[in-house]
Structure 1
Amino acid sequence: MKKNFYNLFSLQGKNAIVTGGAGILGSHFCMGLADAGANVAIVDINEVRANEIAEEIMRNYNVKAIAIKCDLTLESSVKLMVEKVVTTFGEINILHNNAAGKSSDLNQFFAPLEEYSLAQWKEIMSTNIDSMFLVAKYVGKVMKLQAKGGSIIQTASIYGVMGPDNRIYEGSYYLDREINTPAVYAASKGGVVALTKYLATYWAKEGIRVNTITPGGTESGQNETFTERYSNRIPLGRMAKPEEIVGALIYLASDASSYVTGQNILVDGGLSAW
């Protein structure tokens, strides 16, 4: 008997939440899930952009899409967001815990380690890891009550699994300002990987799978110096395009990965293989 494996990747009739859904990668993630058949809740602090993406999804894909403004660092805001998704869609089958932030003060965010303030450290940790815990907590409560559990995918970073090569930042700029990778960013993204493994074993008996996607450097406005230096560190010889991360998300969200949990898929052009 012929088996149909292609349909395992379908998300038809499933409901998804994407936090940070209005971001550069987030918008691609939302559209990828919609293209695979999922209804999508675009969750972001930027309500205007989230609404634009929701409207674009409903124009181009035969699914439902809603935009929800949410401050993911506030437990009350996260709780209300999840309740709204359940009221609108009924179930939550997929959570892409994707949101992350830099800072309200980029000078503080990119400050040298020796001058880094504890207040700035706590701000980034609140945005990058506390919010992941809060969203997973409330969505996990919903998924536990569902017959088929669900799939949670969390976004980390290549610098959550390896240290940065600071040589690539010499003369490197992003959106017209000198940049680096702060220690707090690396520590928070390493925390995402650890949280994923914990949740994967904690909720396995409930039929909830939890995995991580770790993107490598992605094109998003870096200057030519950075792009060239970073690309020279990559076996494939270039930075990623945002759409190249989407395939891993669809795989982990779908039944094609029904026996995959607690894993970290690195979409890094081979950087971590050196």
Structure 2
Amino acid sequence: MEKADCLRMFELNGRTAIVTGGLGILGRRFCEGLASAGAQVAVVDLSREETAAYAAELEVRHHTSCIGIACNVADPQSVRQMVEQVDSELGGIHIVLNNAATKSDDLEQFFAPFEHYSLAQWRRIMEVNVDGMFLVAQATGRKMIDQGSGGSIIQTSSIYGLLGPDERIYEGARYLNASINSPAVYSVSKAAVVGLTAYLAAHWAPHGIRVNTLTPGGVFSGQNERFVERYAARVPLGRMAHPDELVGAVLYLASDASSYVTGHNLYVDGGLHAW
């Protein structure tokens, strides 16, 4: 195969992509990368004004149609309306980045010790991280089946959905002026993503719908120096990821470059899972 043909496999011209959690640290990069590859992008998050503003920026930079949609992924009606709006305004759904997740507005409750973790807080996280992922996958997968043209669904997990956290890393660690750890609810919710992906990959394969998991390791987003140093010491490549380093994996899984890949869990973690 010629080099030019290989590169064309990554092009997304004429395809529509949904990115939930589109205003997050990774979500914004995913939207940018998909738009740069030619996709029409629906930026989906909680704020109507902010998603619309970011979609407008993408249109200017990449000369492709983009829209912003406010959606609560834990609300079935909100998800249905989002899917119908994307289909109506952008013409079909071909790529879904099922990426929305929450770490709660109440950091003290979110980072509480397991022995004292409240069931109410547990359920608030699960409602978004698991129920929301189910609802988005269900609604978009149904639309892809109706279209009859297949598609690619990429679901974001985390290295801590596959591995237990090394709690020594978190001694003295802070983020947004709060002491941090990796709570069990986060690990359990992200482990569920991998199971859902495997199920859907087998279930929807006859419809030409590929479903894969993207599993990032630690991504630098303002953690204090103590945490960054300790985390880096646990990673073969010796550092945390930069948000842009996840984009190539998304473009691969979204495009024809991965046309024979489904049910896969793609680690982008600097080798952490290998130790």
TM-score computed with the length of structure 2 as normaliser: 0.98
Q: Which residue of 2 aligns with 1:172?
A: 173
Distance 1:232 1:16 in 2: 36
Give matches, 1:84-123, under 5 Å: 84-123=85-124
Residues 1:127 and 1:9: Cα distance change in structure 2 (over 3 Å): same
Q: Which residue of 2 aligns with 1:69?
A: 70
Please tell me whether the aligned partners of residues 59 and 65 of structure 2 are also in contact (alpha carbons under 8 angstroms): yes
Q: Which residue of 1 aligns with 2:250?
A: 249
Structure 1 counterpart of 2:36, one-letter code: D
Distance 2:264 2:124 in 1: 27
Give the deviation of 1:251 after TM superposition: 0.3
Q: Which residue of 2 aligns with 1:6?
A: 7
Distance 1:38 1:59 in 2: 14
Give matches, 1:26-45, under 5 Å: 26-45=27-46
Aligned-pair identity (%): 59
Distance 1:146 1:76 in 2: 21
Give the deviation of 1:90 after TM superposition: 1.6
Give the deviation of 1:2 after TM superposition: 4.6
Question: Runs of 5+ in structure 2 lacking a partner?
Answer: none
Distance 1:49 1:91 in 2: 23
Partner-residue secondary structure (3-state), 1:222: coil
Q: Which residue of 1 aligns with 2:130?
A: 129
Aligned-CA RMSD value: 1.0
Higher mean Cα deviation, 20-29 or 100-109? 100-109
TM-score computed with the length of structure 1 as normaliser: 0.98
Give the deviation of 1:154 after TM superposition: 0.3
Task: Give the number of equivalent residue pairs.
Answer: 274
Q: Which residue of 1 aligns with 2:229?
A: 228
Structure 1 counterpart of 2:9, one-letter code: L
Distance 1:185 1:30 in 2: 24
Distance 1:236 1:59 in 2: 36
Please tell me whether the aligned partners of residues 175 and 223 of structure 2 are also in contact (alpha carbons under 8 angstroms): yes
Distance 2:127 2:31 in 1: 24
Structure 2 counterpart of 1:39, one-letter code: Q
Partner-residue secondary structure (3-state), 2:147: coil
Partner-residue secondary structure (3-state), 1:203: helix
